Amino acid sequence: MYAFSPHAIPPALTSLAVIAFGIGLLRRPTRVHRAFAMMTATVAIWLGAFAFVYSSQSASIAYFWVKAAYLAVPAIAPAVYQLSVEMLRIHEQRRNAVRLGWASAGVATILVWTSSLLIDGVERFSWGFYPRYTVPFSFGFLLIFFGYL
């Protein structure tokens, strides 16, 4: 099912560090701190899931963890954008753009979990399994993702 992989250590440790940092800021819950915590949560879920991907011994288990990572990956860019908006104190002017980013992330997450439009499987490499992306949808996903970054 799972086996030790040295390639899983960096994302696992980084995931733990990032989430601890995000939780630490929630002691003083301001809009900026909540936005930062949301950003760290998305990154921690992504990295934590990929630690399991790299440790998986079967393609089906790795594929499950890739999909689990994509509960958060589409939300990373909108979370960074929202943090920027909150830090700059321009939330009122960018409210619709923030909502559109989160809605896009939701659509991408649903599509990953219900179809093979973005990821159609996993491949084994020397470091472990890694997602196999499809071209048409992933190009659109990357445009939106990097557009928000």
pLDDT in tens, 40-55: 999 999 999 999 999 9
Q: What is the pLDDT of residue 97?
A: 96
DSSP 42: H
- Residues 16/63/8/136 CA torsion (nearest 10 deg): -90
Band (pLDDT 50/70/90 cuts) for residue 139 is confident
Percent of the chain topping pLDDT 90: 82
CB proximity list for 5: less than 8 A, separation 6 or greater? 54, 55, 127, 128
Strand partners, 2: 56
The percentage of the chain sitting over the pLDDT mark of 70, rounded to a whole number, equals 100
Element (H, E) at 123: strand 119-125
Q: Which residue has the tokens 């499809």?
A: 134
pLDDT digits (tens, 9 = 90+) for 104-136: 999 999 999 999 988 999 999 999 999 999 988
pLDDT of residue 32: 93
**Banded model confidence at residue 75, pLDDT cuts 50, 70, 90:** very high
Residue in 84, 85, 76 with CA at minimum distance from that of residue 44: 76
Give the pLDDT of residue 22: 87
Structure tokens at 72: 């958060």
In this prediction, residue 31 carries a pLDDT of 92
**Cβ atoms of residues 55 and 8 within 8 Å:** yes
